[in-house]
Structure formats: C-alpha cells, structure tokens
Structure 1
Amino acid sequence: MRIALFEPEIAGNVGAVLRLCACMGATVDLIEPMGFEWDDRRVRRTAMDYIDHVTIVRHADFDAFRASIGSQRLVLFTTKTDRSAYDFQYRADDVLLFGKESMGVPAFVSDACAERVRIPMRPQVRSMNLATSAALALGEGLRQTASLPG
C-alpha cells in the first residue's frame, strides 16, 4: 500500500506522513510542485531519523505519477463524497491519494481516481489534518488487508 500526496503545501505534514509510512512499511509518493522547498533539514526536522526507513518517490507532476503506478488502484480521500472510508474494501496494492491542504485536488485528478472515499467526521468541521487523515486511512487499509507490520 502507498500514500500519495498531491502538491503538498506544508513540510511538517509531509514529515509526519514520512514517519507514519516508515513505521507502517508504506511507500510515499510526492506529486510536485510542493508548496515548500524540499530540503533535507526542513523535512528531517519532522520526520527525524525515520526518513531513512521510508521509500520516497518524487514525481514532476500528476501525469508522471499516474504513469509510475501502472494498474494500481488510485483511491482519493476527499470531503466531496458520501462514501465512507470504513465501508470501502481496500486492496493490498492500493494507492491512497490525498490532496493539497488548502484545496484538495482539481477535477482532472479526481476524475482519474478509481474510487473516492471520505473519513466520516462531524458536519460542523471542514477537514482533518493531512497526516492524521493519512494515518486513519493507512491503518484501515492495512487492517483490512491483514498487512499490518509486526
């Protein structure tokens, strides 16, 4: 299972996702452009030494990313659907895609996704933190596919 971040804007969120994926054994795909300059010091501050234990694949844009994942199913996590992420059947090779913090993904990216799911939350709030959402999604996906480490 992989976590893909579409044009992430906050280095701290990327670092937290890198740490999550290091712990859970998932690859991280970073779809550029990012909203911050990629520099080891900035990302390392959040990811700490965990960055040495995660596979990171950077892609120049969404088309390059799409080409790299082949036939793997792309599952978009979005607030623009009613389908619960907990009523969804994950596959061990799914790619879980998250949009940029300020606005999600554009329509062309959403249209390219095989599935769209939402993490249920109270209607009074807009969305969760990117890293928190990724943790909930990856945990559920790995739980369902019996792919949890250790």
Structure 2
Amino acid sequence: MKFISSRDNPGFKRLRALLDDARMRRTERASIIDGEHLLQAALDADWPIRQLLLREDVLESAVVADVLQRLKNVDPELPVLVMAPALFNALSPVLTPTGMLAEIALPSVLAEDSGAGDVLALAGVQDAGNLGSLLRTAVAAGVTRVWLDAQTTQAWSPKALRAGMGAQFCLAIEEGCDLLPRLTGSSRPVLVTSLGPASVSLYALDLRQPNIWVFGAEGQGVPAVLQALAQHRVRIPMPGKIESLNVGAAAAVCLFEQVRQREVAA
C-alpha cells in the first residue's frame, strides 16, 4: 500500500482530473467508481481495475478485506493508495463518501454488432443521471448495445456510473456515434418516440423482433432528421393530464412492453 498525504501529490491531482474532466477521461481511457456496489459489479464483470483508493479509517473493515481479497486474486500487484479521511473526502464525488474508490479502464475494443440484438440509440441526452438510468433500464430489458451520439453526455462520468449501478459493465457502449448512417437502411426496425400526428400507439406494434430504439434529449426529443428514418414513430398512450414523460421513464415503458410481448410469445 502507498500512502498519499497531500493534495499536491501528482497522483492525487491526476485522480481529481479524472473525476472532473471528461477530456481527461477520454485521453487516459479511465474513470473513477465509488463504493462497494460498483466495485463488486466491476469485479463480477471481470472489468479491468487499475488501482484501489481507500480512506485510512476503513482499512480494517470486513468489506474492504473482502474487496482486497478479490482484487488480489485477479491481480496480486494491483496498486492500493491510502489517504487520510480529509484528503479522501476531498477527492470523493459523493456527499457521504464510503471510503472506497477505484480507477477503472475504459473499453477500447467492443464486440462486433451482429445485427441480431436490440440497440438503444440516444441523441443529445445531456443529463448524466438520466443517462445512467437509461443504461440500467437497457440492461434490465435485455439490451446489450448502446449508441450515443456526440451530443450525449459521457457514459463513463462518475455521476453516470453511479446512476447506472453497474450497467456500463454489461453493455457494449459506442460513444460519439453518427446516428444518421447507422439508422439509414438498417436491417432492424428503427423506432422513435414522438408525439406527432403520425405516431402509432406503442401497444399497437409488434415488438418481438430485434429493434433499434431511438430516444432524444430531455427537452427537444429526437431530431427530425432521425425521426424521418424511423419505420415507426411511437406514442406512449397517456390518458392523464401530462404531455410527456421523462426520457428515462419513456424508455422503460417502451423497452418493457417489448419484454412483455416476447415473454407472451415464448
């Protein structure tokens, strides 16, 4: 174990930059996860962990002992950094730090898209919490591939990772995608949520085949140029006095209607 005692330490400054700066995360191909749940999820997914960061006062806890043992089994030489409580708390991205952080590697190579599964495509989703929730919903509904356009916030930010609750480790996530050529001539139906007059009720569609679901920014929705490529513009029936749903709620309704239809047909 290595102790860090100063904010001027180059290692501390680098970790701080990984937490705060999306450009740094892209350059370093790394990010920071917080807490036992995310760390255990990363280990369960055999995700590459670069170093463990611990607060000095949790070193003797049973949770830390379990995590250290699991990490030792994977990489006996994994660096472990220890900090005094005040220094660690200054680094942690949460209001109530757990005393455990880890630096993870970001994926560099993704499995090839076979065209056989569902895709969640997001255009301009800028809230990291919403993005994490969308990824978590996608995993729960059996989606394995995600396309994020250049206007969508980074999937690997600490906030998106916390909201995803481990979902990122279960998905092939492509960032900075140009969705226009991806959707043009797709062999899978493209489904876009829309409140326009040409939209079709979600419950009138056959969703048993693999689909590409496109959801847009919280305020603007899916851009018109992408809506024009859809086989179906999908409307969620809402009998109440609310015009639209949060993008995360809309995605959950659509994806789990798809799950329902497939389960009934099985």
TM-score (norm 2): 0.50
| 1:16 alignment partner in structure 2 | 133
Work out the CA distance in 2 between the residues paired with 1:17 and 1:38: 10
| 2:183 alignment partner in structure 1 | 66
| 2:226 alignment partner in structure 1 | 109
Q: Where in structure 1 do 4 or more consecutive aligned residues deviate above 6 Å?
A: none
- Where do 1:67-106 residues align within 5 Å? 70-81=186-197, 82-106=199-223
| 2:235 alignment partner in structure 1 | 118
| 2:121 alignment partner in structure 1 | 4
| 1:136 alignment partner in structure 2 | 253
Name the aligned partner's letter for residue 11 of structure 1.
A
Name the aligned partner's letter for residue 195 of structure 2.
T
- Where do 1:45-64 residues align within 5 Å? 45-64=162-181
Following superposition, the deviation at residue 146 of structure 1 comes to: 3.1
Give secondary structure in 1 for the equivalent of 2:167.
helix
Structure 2 vs 1, CA of residues 73 and 147 (structure 1 numbering), >3 Å: closer, same or farther?
Answer: farther
Q: How many residues align?
A: 146
Name the aligned partner's letter for residue 98 of structure 1.
F
TM-score (norm 1): 0.83
| 2:151 alignment partner in structure 1 | 33
Cα-to-partner distance string for 1:33-83 (whole Å, 9 max, x where unaligned):
22x45543121121122321222222432224326x831110111111452
Structure 2 vs 1, CA of residues 33 and 65 (structure 1 numbering), >3 Å: closer, same or farther?
Answer: farther
Gaps of 5+ in 1: none
Cα-to-partner distance string for 1:82-114 (whole Å, 9 max, x where unaligned):
521011111421111112111112322111111
In angstroms, what is the RMSD of aligned CA positions? 2.3
Name the aligned partner's letter for residue 40 of structure 1.
S
Name the aligned partner's letter for residue 192 of structure 2.
L
Gaps of 5+ in 2: 1-117
Contact conserved, 1:74 with 1:94, CA < 8 A, in 2? yes
Q: Which has the higher strand share?
A: 2
> Which structure has the larger Rg?
2
Contact conserved, 2:136 with 2:164, CA < 8 A, in 1? yes
Contact conserved, 1:59 with 1:65, CA < 8 A, in 2? no
Give secondary structure in 2 for the equivalent of 1:112.
coil
Contact conserved, 2:154 with 2:160, CA < 8 A, in 1? no
Work out the CA distance in 2 between the residues paired with 1:37 and 1:55: 14
